[in-house]
Chains A and B, each alone.
Chain A
Amino acid sequence: MGAYIVRQLASKVVVLLGITIVTFILIDAIPADPARLILGQHASEAAVKALRIQLGLNLPLPIRYLRYLGSLLHGNLGYSYVFNMPVTTMILQRMGASAWLALGCWIAEIIIGIPLGIFTARRAHGPLDYFISALALVGISLPVFWLGLILLYWLGYIHQIFPLGGIGGIRYLVLPALTYGITGAAYYQRLLRSSMLEVMGLDYVRTARAKGASDNRVVWRHVVRNALIPVMTYAGIDIGYLMTGVVLIEATFNWNGLGLMAYTAISNDDVPVIMGTVLLIAVFVVVFTLLVDIVYSILDPRIRYD
């Protein structure tokens, strides 16, 4: 197991390095001039030119990349072009808010999606299954900002049960989480439903039934437990992705997290911030995938990493 983790970590470092290269090249391909964006429309050409030199934008791409990599190895993500703040500080400031929102969204998806998945799998191909599956599909198709605004308008403005956006405790978290839960639950529902149907056809389930185990016992002890494995994989990657920000939810609910930061950084051509957030997303996804692998082996005794 230990050797497996070390091997995995080594390969992930290569992945991360590749991501930095690709992102750097992509950002460079944006035909905008960060110096002009920073100084604005009215700034003189001389001032823009001076800034371009100061930021090192006059240097060739490979040199700029190596410089970035150099400081990255020293743990330095650089300063935001726009905000004159260390990227690390900016990320740390927003990480708590993003993690809190991610957790809320994730739990909402799961507590809506998993029970629906089990329910529809047990009534597979019946009218209730079709009805709920269709409803879940409607959920996936709802634009987050639309549903979010409707919820905000009714429950925040008209009835004043929840606050009108902003970062805060549970009361603030309910609406964004619910919005994300409704629009994301269908993934879990569909995944679990099909996974359960597959497991239900397996020999050991038939054996369990043959032994006279009750339907509930079969479903809960044998089917659900095994059917959850692919759902776990998805949930692991999902939380890793959610951690780094949910742009639309953040924008709709005035939740200033990492997602919005990355989004504005892109429109500002704020290279250090874009690089920092992309790296962060990559690290999260890598770490959570690894965690999922480890949890697998605990859940499923057949899986061993040697």
Chain B
Amino acid sequence: MAKRWKYGAAALSTIGVTAMMLVGTSGVASAAGSKPYEGGSVTLDFTQDIAHLDPAVAYDTQSNEIVAQLYDQLVTWQQGGGEKVVPMAAKSWTVSKNGLVYTFNLRRGMTFWNGDPVTAQSFIDEIDRVMTPSVNSPGSGFYTIIQGASAFMAGKAKTITGLAAPNPYTLRITLNKPEAFFLETLTLPFISAVDQKFINSVGNKVFDSQKAMGSGPFELSSINQNQIVLTKNANYWRTDSYGQKLPYLNKITININTNSQLDALHFLQGQTAWIGWNFGGDGIPSSNYIQIVHDRALQQDLLHFTEASVQYVGLNTTVGPTKNPLVRQAIEYAINKQRIVQLNNGRGIIANQPLPPMIPGYVKNMPKDASYSYNPAKARALLKKAGYTNGFTVDFYSENSPDQLKFDNEIQANLAAVGIKANIKASSWGTFLNVAMAGKAPIDWLGWFQDFPDASDFLNTLFNSNQIPANNNQNYNNPLVDKWLNKAQTDNNQAQRVAIYKKTSIQIMKDAVWVPVYYDQATFAKQSWVHGFYSPSVGQDPLEWIWVSPGH
């Protein structure tokens, strides 16, 4: 199961930018009405090493969390949750009528920690770096839509023609074709202001592993394999509604602790400020989950979120017996999603389509011919109709993390109940990914976490035939769906796009390409003296908004 993309051990999995939506009680309430206290510090546990400090390279959850504290982007997400893009380094922006030219008016007076000014060139330098193959940016794919970016990447041009700085505080980005969600891709930390002079002095590798130079709320004070210390950037430009300067905290100490059970004890002992998904490791570890969520003293300080992510069983449309749509539909009926969520300590909402509920394009009422419920008898009937009276044997691929193996066993039992013998092929994340992303797995289990809250990031990336096989691992090729998806990519009419994505979701479910199993739910616990904590619906944890009661 692709819980999240992390380097290392069993937790290694999906993606960097995690998105969550506030559904339960919120820690924000405790901060409301009182003026934040400036000062104090917090200690946190991370379960993984920080692999990257370079915003062009960082993409795994934990690295991204650090990078977001060190660097500023052009635009960002609204504070307090919600999915509105708001100004950051760019004070304002305009988009040309044809949707091709974005002009950003940058804030004056922003500086890097060393005093160098942040200008339009700071962003051009970074986009150049993202598109430079030797930097190895995992984000390059998001920005090939910029005019001349592909030619630059291929080494056919010295500069990216779509980038211009008519003056130091104006940045103009020209696209090849309109893209409705281009602004949202600019919230990703890939597009941060960087000090090229500094990078030249230390080199790309050191800039990624040991030294940082940003303009963000926190400065990198030290980093080694055991600990990262961030200290307040006293000259940070942002202020809160009281006119107080951000950030509030003087210091954040992050210890790299691989044993998540110890992390839970650290939290219970009051050593760490909170324990949760992003900042604070892998969330509340399964072994301590029940203990912590039922701890009476913590009830006020527990936060539950539904994430913008989906866990699914993929059914290959070109390999193995699942080629036959009837077989795929049979499997849709065979899998007991309720039971799988139970096995996950109840941390999940049963899914019935690829898009999570908070993403525009989600279909509230799935039509009957695109809905499936747990019904082994119907599954057997469909298999019979498909000509598999005696069932068949098939390979089922997944990662070999402990939680995943529980799900694998359940799926194996579900399939056996309708006459399908599934051989579980569970392996390390790397090995599994290699099979899955080559489109060779007949049936597999994967998860997908959004990069930004747009249906395109799910539907176009995972179901467009031009994404076969690396992302469209099921080799799904429906010309009708392709036509819709391609139109929605460049359409600037949001209502029209949402309608297209709804149609697409229904068609995908009719074709039974995936068995969407559940949407992830996460739980955080914080200390009562921590205020301003909220989990953003998209983007990284907002450490600059967090404050602590005096004395901490």
Q: Which of A49-89 contact B (CB under 8 A)?
A: 50-51, 54, 79, 82-85
A252: B residues at CB distance < 8 A: 259
A82: B residues at CB distance < 8 A: 7, 51
* Minimum Cβ distance to chain B for residue A252 (Å): 6
- Say yes or no: A36-B431 contact (C-beta < 8 A), given A84-B209, A251-B258: no
A33: B residues at CB distance < 8 A: 430, 433-434
Taken together as a complex, chains A and B put the C-alpha atoms of A164 and B263 apart, in Å, by 9
A31 at the interface (CB under 8 A from B): yes
The answer to whether A84 touches B9 (Cβ under 8 A) is no
* Binary interface encoding of chain A residues 86-122 relative to chain B, with 1 for a CB under 8 A from any of its CBs, else 0: 0000100110010000000000000000000000000
* A32, closest chain B residue (CB): B430
Taken together as a complex, chains A and B put the C-alpha atoms of A85 and B54 apart, in Å, by 13
- Could you tell me how many residues of chain B have their Cβ less than 8 Å away from some Cβ of chain A? 61
B13: A residues at CB distance < 8 A: 41
B461: A residues at CB distance < 8 A: 42
Q: Which of A151-173 contact B (CB under 8 A)?
A: 152-153, 156-157, 160, 164-167
* Minimum Cβ distance to chain B for residue A26 (Å): 14
B52 at the interface (CB under 8 A from A): yes
Q: Which of B14, B134, B140, B448 contacts A44 (CB 8 A)?
A: B140
B284 at the interface (CB under 8 A from A): no
B470 at the interface (CB under 8 A from A): yes
- Say yes or no: A44-B141 contact (C-beta < 8 A), given A32-B434, A85-B205, A267-B428: yes
Taken together as a complex, chains A and B put the C-alpha atoms of A37 and B399 apart, in Å, by 13
Taken together as a complex, chains A and B put the C-alpha atoms of A252 and B133 apart, in Å, by 39
B445 at the interface (CB under 8 A from A): no
The answer to whether A83 touches B49 (Cβ under 8 A) is yes
The answer to whether B15 touches A42 (Cβ under 8 A) is yes
B5 at the interface (CB under 8 A from A): yes
B138 at the interface (CB under 8 A from A): yes
The answer to whether B265 touches A79 (Cβ under 8 A) is no
A296 at the interface (CB under 8 A from B): no
- Say yes or no: A39-B136 contact (C-beta < 8 A), given A164-B266, A251-B258: yes
Taken together as a complex, chains A and B put the C-alpha atoms of A83 and B224 apart, in Å, by 12
B226: A residues at CB distance < 8 A: 97, 166-167, 256
- Say yes or no: A40-B16 contact (C-beta < 8 A), given A30-B431, A32-B433, A33-B434: yes
Q: Which of B5, B138, B210, B258 contacts A47 (CB 8 A)?
A: B138
The answer to whether B258 touches A254 (Cβ under 8 A) is yes
The answer to whether A267 touches B136 (Cβ under 8 A) is no
B437 at the interface (CB under 8 A from A): yes
* Binary interface encoding of chain B residues 44-56 relative to chain A, with 1 for a CB under 8 A from any of its CBs, else 0: 0000010110100
Residue of B2, B49, B210, B461 contacting most chain A CB atoms (<10 Å): B49
The answer to whether A267 touches B49 (Cβ under 8 A) is no
* Minimum Cβ distance to chain B for residue A223 (Å): 43
B225 at the interface (CB under 8 A from A): yes
B209: A residues at CB distance < 8 A: 83-85
B306: A residues at CB distance < 8 A: none
Taken together as a complex, chains A and B put the C-alpha atoms of A38 and B52 apart, in Å, by 11
A24 at the interface (CB under 8 A from B): no
A263 at the interface (CB under 8 A from B): yes
A278 at the interface (CB under 8 A from B): no
The answer to whether B138 touches A164 (Cβ under 8 A) is no
The answer to whether B258 touches A256 (Cβ under 8 A) is yes
The answer to whether B210 touches A85 (Cβ under 8 A) is yes
Q: Which of A45, A250, A256, A260 contacts B470 (CB 8 A)?
A: A45
A47: B residues at CB distance < 8 A: 133, 136-138, 140-141
**Interfacial residues, chain A to chain B (CB-CB below 8 A):** 30-34, 36-48, 50-51, 54, 79, 82-85, 90, 93-94, 97, 149, 152-153, 156-157, 160, 164-167, 250-254, 256, 260-261, 263-264, 267-269
Given contact pairs A32-B430, A41-B15, a sample of 13 additional A-B residue pairs in the complex whose CB atoms are under 8 Å apart: A31-B435, A33-B434, A37-B433, A38-B138, A42-B59, A45-B470, A47-B140, A50-B133, A51-B133, A84-B54, A164-B266, A166-B255, A254-B259
| Nearest 4 Cβ contacts at the A-B interface | A32-B430, A44-B141, A264-B8, A43-B138
**Interfacial residues, chain B to chain A (CB-CB below 8 A):** 2, 5, 7-10, 12-16, 49, 51-52, 54, 57, 59-60, 133-134, 136-141, 144, 153, 204-205, 208-210, 224-226, 255-259, 261-262, 265-266, 268-269, 271, 428-431, 433-435, 437, 448, 451, 461, 470-471
Task: Give me 14 A-to-B residue pairs in the complex whose CB atoms sit less than 8 angstroms apart, sorted by A's number.
Answer: A38-B138, A39-B59, A41-B5, A42-B15, A42-B451, A42-B461, A94-B225, A97-B226, A152-B262, A157-B265, A250-B258, A256-B225, A267-B8, A267-B10
